[in-house]
A and B are shown apart, each in its own frame.
Chain A
Amino acid sequence: MRKIFGILVLVVFALFAYACSSDDSSDGGSGPTIPPMSLDRIGILENWADNIIVPGYVDFQSKVNTLQTETTAFATNSNDLTAIRAAWLDAYTTWQRVSMFETGPAETVGLRLNVNIFPASVTTIEDNIASGSYDLGLSSNRAAKGFPTLDYLLFGIGVDDTAILAIYNGTEGDAYKQYLQDIVADMQTLITTVLNEWQGGFRDSFVSNSGSSSTASVDRLVNDYIFYYERHLRAGKMGIPGGVFSGSVEPNTIEALYAGNLSKQLFLVGLDAVQDFFNGRAYNGNAQGESLSSYLDDLNVIKDGADLSTIINNQFTTARQSVQGLGNFEQELQNNPPTTFLNAYDEVQRIVPLVKVDMVSALSISIDFSDADGD
C-alpha cells in the first residue's frame, strides 16, 4: 500500500517539479548553486568507523598491551615505577580519545564503566587484595578496577615512591602485584573484545544502519556522544570536583587523584577528542572527513549570520582556552568556591546547549530513545 501511495505522490510532485523547473533554472540570483548533495549518512559512518573509531581502538589496544608488558616487567622486578607509570599514563591519555564511543560492542561490555569509574574505591581494592578472591566482572567491582585503580596502586598506596615500592616488595607484595596484573589483563580482555567486534561484523552493520530512525547508527552515536560530553567530560572531570552539583568543592573526585597534576591534561585531551570527532578529523593525521560539522554545513544551516558548525567550533576553542588558562585542578580547587575554575566550567557548559539543542535540532535527531508518538 505504502509503495503505491509513494508512487502516486511521486508522480504528483514530478509534475509539480516539471511545472516549476522552467522558471527556476533561469533564476541565478537566489544565492550560490549548491552542488547536489547526498544527505545519506553512510559517508559519515564510514569516516567515523574507519578513520576515527577503529584506529582509536587499535591505538588504545596497543597502549594497553604496552601497559601489560610493563606490568609483567614490574611484577618480575619491582624496583622502579617509572616505566609502568609512563605506560599507564600513555594508555590513560589514549583512553580519553575513545571513551566517547560507548555504542555497539563497547556498550555491550560496558567498556567505560569497567575502565574509568572514578574515584576508585580504596576500601574495595584493599579488601579484594587482602582476600585474594574477587570477580572483576561484577558491577560492584567497577570502582576497584581500570585506570583509577591503577592510579591508586601506582601512586597512592604509599606516601612516596620508597613506601610504595616497599609494599610491592613486602609480605603482601605478591597479592598487590597479582591484582595489578589482573586489572590490566581485564582491560586487555575488554578492549580486545570490543576491537574484535568492530573489526569483525560490527563495522559493516554500523555503517549500513545509516537511516534516520532513533535506532540508526548516527542517531545513537550522537546521543552517546552528547551523553559523554555532558556527563563524563563536563560533569565527571570538572563539574563534580568543582561542586557544581553539590554546592561544595569535592577535590577528591578528580581524575588521576593519586598521580596528581594530570586531571587538567586528561580533560583537555578529552575535549580535543570531542571536537575532532565533531569535525570528523582522522585519528591518525589531520585529514577531515564527513562529520557532524560537514553535515551541518550541507544542511546549510545558516543562523545568526554565522553557521552553526563555526559557532560550535568557536565555543570549543573558547572552552579550551579558558581551561588551559587555569592552574592545575588541584590548585584551583583549593579555593571554595573555586571561581576561576567555575568560570572555565561555564565555557565548557556553553557547548551543551549548542550541541544538544541547536545541532540536534538542525539534524532532526531525537535526543532520547523515547519512541512515543508525536502529533
Chain B
Amino acid sequence: MNSHTEAAPLAVFRMFFGILMFVSIIRFWSYGWIDKFYIQPDFHFTFYGFSWVRPLGVWTYLLFVICAVSAVMIALGWKYRIAMISFFLSFTYIELMDKTMYLNHYYFISILSFLLIFLPAGHYFSLDTLSRKHIKNNSHTNTAIIGYVPRWTIDSIKLLLGIVYVYAGLAKLNSDWLVKAMPLKIWLPSKFDIPFIGDLVSQEWVQYAFSWIGAGYDLFIPFLLLWKPTRTFAFAAVVIFHILTRVLFPIGMFPYIMIVSALIFFDAGFHKKVVYAFAKAVKYPKVLLEATAVWQPTSVKRYKMALVVITIFFCIQLLLPWRYALYPGELFWTEEGYRFSWRVMLMEKSGYAQFKIKDGVTGKRFYVNNADFLTPLQEKQMSFQPDFILEYAHYLRDHFTAQGHQNVEVYVESYVALNGRLSTTYIDPDVNLARIEESFTHKNWIKPFTDEIKGL
C-alpha cells in the first residue's frame, strides 16, 4: 500500500479517457441518438429501483453537455475531482434512463469513472498542477508538484481491466460457445462482404477458431499484459483483436476504449515519453514533469475511507457476476443475473412477444400493437428479456386501465430463439402478468429451457 510509482501512466490514462469519452458523446449526439432513443419514446424501460431516473425532455441535451464538458475537463486535468464526479454522475444517469440501451461497455465506463474519482489522476501534467505552480509559499501537501503516486492507484485500473477480460473469458466456457461455435456460427457468415476475410467467415473451422481464440484471448490477455516479456506481443494482440471486433460487429467506441486502456500496463517510461511529447506540443513547463514528490492525501482519514470504498467496490465486482448461480434454470434463457457480468457478444437471442389484454370478468380480449408504444429497438430488446416483458406488461395494464378498460389482465404469447435453436414458447401464456410483482426472486413464469447448455 505504501510503495510508489511514477504518476505519468495515470496522467496518460486520464487524458485518453477524457478524449475518448468526449468523442463518444459527440458521436452519440451527431447520430441523433439522444433524440431518437431518449426524447422521442414515450415509454422507457427502467432499472430495478431506478424508475425515478427519466430522460429530462429537451434538458436531456444539457445532461450530455455536462457529460461532454466534464470529459474535456478530465482530459485537461482541470478541476479533476469535480469533473470526474460530474462525469460519473451524468454518464451513469444517462445509462440509467433506459435499460434498452444497456451495454456492458457503458457499464464499464460507469464503474471505471467511479474508480477514477478516488485516484489522484489530476495531479500530473494537468491544468490543476499548472495553476498550483503560481501559488507561492504553499504549505499544503496536496498542492505540491508531484511526480509519484501510490502504486495501488495504477494497479487498481489494471485489476478492473483484468476482471472485465477474465470474466468475459469465463462466460465463454460453455458448450454453445466452445462445442457448437455459437453464436459466431450465425454471426460470421453474414459478414461475407468484409474485405480480405469475407471468404473465410463462412468456413466452419474459422468459426471454431474465432470462438476458441476469443475465449483464450479474454482469459489470458491480462496476464500476458502484466508479464513484461509478453507485453508487446499481448498489446499487438489487443489491437488486432479489438480492431477485428470493430470490423465484424457494430460495437461503437468500445474497441478503442479497450485498446487505449490496455496502455496502462506499459512501464512508466513509455508514458513519460507520451507526456513529454504532449508537453512539448503545448509548451507545458518541463520542470513540472520532473518533480519527485510523492502525492499525499489532504486528509488521512478521508484517504482511509476511500481505500475502504475501493475495497468494497472490488469485492462487489468480483462477486456480482456469480449471482446467476443463485437462480435455477439456464442463465442464457432466463437472463437472471446476466447483466453487469461481462457477458459480451455471447449469444444470438431474438424473440417475438404479442400481448393480449383480457377483461378478467367478461373474458373479452384483444391484442396490442407493440409499435404503438415502443420503438423498434425497445420492442426488440423487450421481446427476449423477462424483466422488460414484465415492465411493459405493467405499463400496458396501467395504460388500458386508465383508458377505462375493466379488470385488465395481461398475457403474452412469446417465442424466443437462442443460439440457432428453433424458437419455443418463452413466457407462460396463461400467467396474468398484470398481477406479477417485479423482484429479484426467480421468475417462475418463464417456461423452462428445452435444451441444455453446459459450462459456467
Contacts and interface: CB of A to CB of B under 8 A. Distances in A.
B200 interface: yes
A360 B380 contact: no
Given A212-B192, A370-B375, A373-B250, A5 B415 contact: no
Nearest to A21: B205
Interface stretch (A109-117, A174-182, A240-248): A240-248
B254 A373 contact: yes
Interface residues of A, number: 59
Nearest to A40: B192
A245 B252 CA distance: 38
A20 interface: yes
A368 B376 contact: yes
Contacts of A311: 422
B40 to A, nearest CB: 12
Interface string B353-392: 0100000000011111100000111011000000000000
A287 interface: no
A136 interface: no
Contacts of B197: 6, 9-10, 13
A372 interface: yes
A362 B31 contact: no
B105 A2 contact: no
Interface residues of B, number: 60
Nearest to B194: A6
Interface in B389-440: 415-417, 420-423
Interface of B: 31, 33, 37, 101, 103-105, 186-187, 189-197, 200, 202, 205-206, 209, 239-240, 243-244, 247, 249-254, 344-345, 348-352, 354, 364-369, 375-377, 379-380, 415-417, 420-423
Given A211-B193, A212-B193, 17 more contacts: A5-B240, A6-B195, A10-B196, A10-B197, A13-B206, A20-B205, A39-B202, A40-B193, A210-B193, A303-B421, A357-B415, A357-B417, A367-B380, A368-B379, A373-B103, A375-B105, A375-B254
Contact of A372 (B37, B344, B364, B368): B37
Given A357-B350, A368-B376, A370-B376, A6 B196 contact: yes
A1 interface: yes
Given A9-B197, A9-B240, A367-B376, A374 B369 contact: no
B249 to A, nearest CB: 6
30 contacts: A3-B195, A5-B243, A5-B244, A6-B247, A9-B196, A10-B196, A10-B197, A13-B206, A37-B202, A211-B193, A243-B366, A244-B366, A247-B364, A248-B364, A303-B421, A357-B350, A358-B423, A361-B186, A364-B190, A367-B350, A368-B376, A369-B376, A370-B375, A370-B377, A371-B31, A372-B33, A373-B250, A373-B254, A374-B249, A375-B105
Contacts of B421: 303-304
A365 B243 CA distance: 22
A299 B189 contact: yes
A17 B205 contact: yes
A372 B417 contact: no
A163 interface: no
